A and B are shown apart, each in its own frame.
Chain A
Amino acid sequence: MLAAYMFVSVLLFAIGATGAMIRRNFLIVLMSLELMINGAGMALIVMSYYIGNISGQVMFLFVAAVAASETAVGLAIVAMMYKNKKSVDINDFTTLRK
C-alpha cells in the first residue's frame, strides 16, 4: 500500500506543477500551487504512518501555515494586478520587462 499512497501524492504534485506551468489564468495558477503543497504534505503524512514517527504530522502543520500565507500574498498580487491592468492573464503581468 505504501507505493499506492506515494503514487497519489506524486500524482497530485505533478498535476499541480503542470497546471502552474501551462495555465494562463493567475487564479488557477494559485490553485495549482495549493495542489502541489497538498501533494508534498501527503508525502509527509504517508511517511509518518509507515515509519511510525509523529514528526511528519507536525511538519504538515508548518506546511499548512506556509500555504495559507502564500495564498494571502498571492491573492494580494492578483488584486493589485487586476486593479492596474483589469486582467488576470499572466501574459499581461509583464510590467517589469520593459
Chain B
Amino acid sequence: MIVEIIVFAILAAMAVGGGLGIIVTKNPFRAAMWMVLSFIGSAGIFVMLDAVFIAMLQLIVYAGAITVMIVIAMYTMDRLTIASLGRFNNQGYFGALFGLGILLDFIVIASKLRINTTFAGKNLSIAGSNVKAISDVLFKSYLLPFEITAIVLLIALFGAVALTKKDL
C-alpha cells in the first residue's frame, strides 16, 4: 500500500507539473515537452488503474502522434514569431479566476462522490487480458458509435484539408 502511494505521488506530480509547465512556459517547443511529461505521468496512472491497453494508447496517440503533429506545425512557422509572444492575455486574470472556480467546484463534487466500490478492480479483464475485455464490449455493445467515430475522423480529415487550401 505504501509503495502504491509513493508511485502515485510521483506520477501525479509528473502529470500535474507537466500541466503547469504548459501554461507558464513562454516557448511553445518547451510547452510541448512539458505536455509529453504530463501525458507520460497520466499513462503511469492508467497502468496503476489496470487500464494497460489505454495506457499504451495514451503513449502512442497523445505523447506520440498529437505532440509530433503540433511540433511539426511549429517547424513550418518562424521561430521568433511564435516564441516571442507575451505569456498572458490582457484579461488573463479573469480567466485564472474562472479556472480557480472550476477547480473548487469540481473538488467539492469529487469529495462528495459516493459510489459502491464492492466491484473495485474486478471485471476489467477476461482470462487475464485487458484487450479482450475491451474488445468484447466495444464490438458487441458499442459497434455503432465505433463506426460513427470513423466517420468523425474522416470528416475531420476533409475539414483540415479544406481549411488549408489556397483559395477558399
Which one of B19, B28, B110 contacts A3 once the chains associate, using CB atoms below 8 Å? B110
**128-144 of chain B: CB within 8 A of chain A:** 130, 133-134, 136-138, 141-142
Q: Are A76 and B70 in contact (CB under 8 A)?
A: no
Q: Are B95 and A58 in contact (CB under 8 A)?
A: no
Which one of B45, B61, B137 contacts A8 once the chains associate, using CB atoms below 8 Å? B45
Q: Are B12 and A48 in contact (CB under 8 A)?
A: no
Q: Are B70 and A75 in contact (CB under 8 A)?
A: yes
Q: Are B153 and A68 in contact (CB under 8 A)?
A: yes
- Point out the residues of chain A lying under 8 angstroms from B121, CB to CB: 49, 52
A31 to B77, CA, bound (A): 17
Interface residues on B, range: 35 or more
What residue in chain B is nearest A71 (Cβ atoms)? Answer: B66
How many A residues face the partner with a CB closer than 8 A? 71
Q: Are A42 and B45 in contact (CB under 8 A)?
A: yes
Cβ proximity bits B79-118 to A, threshold 8 Å, 1 near / 0 not: 0011001111110111110111011001100110101111
A58 to B139, CA, bound (A): 10
Cβ proximity bits A1-41 to B, threshold 8 Å, 1 near / 0 not: 11111111011111111110111110110111011001000
- Point out the residues of chain A lying under 8 angstroms from B19, CB to CB: 11-12, 15-16, 19, 35
Q: Are A25 and B82 in contact (CB under 8 A)?
A: yes
Closest Cβ of chain A: how far from B28's Cβ, in Å?
5
- Point out the residues of chain A lying under 8 angstroms from B113, CB to CB: 2-3, 6
Q: Are A31 and B22 in contact (CB under 8 A)?
A: yes
Interface CB pairs A-B, < 8 A, 24? A2-B115, A5-B45, A7-B110, A10-B106, A12-B38, A14-B99, A18-B99, A21-B95, A21-B96, A24-B87, A24-B88, A30-B70, A31-B31, A48-B124, A52-B121, A53-B123, A58-B137, A61-B138, A62-B149, A69-B153, A69-B155, A72-B160, A73-B156, A79-B163
List residues of A whose CB falls within 8 A of some B CB: 1-8, 10-19, 21-25, 27-28, 30-32, 34-35, 38, 42, 45-55, 57-58, 60-62, 64-73, 75-80, 82, 86-91
List residues of B whose CB falls within 8 A of some A CB: 4, 8, 12, 15-16, 19-20, 22-23, 25, 28, 31-32, 35, 38-39, 42, 45-46, 49-51, 53-54, 57-58, 61-62, 65-66, 69-70, 73-74, 76-78, 81-82, 85-90, 92-96, 98-100, 102-103, 106-107, 110-111, 113, 115-124, 130, 133-134, 136-138, 141-142, 145-146, 149, 152-153, 155-157, 159-161, 163-164
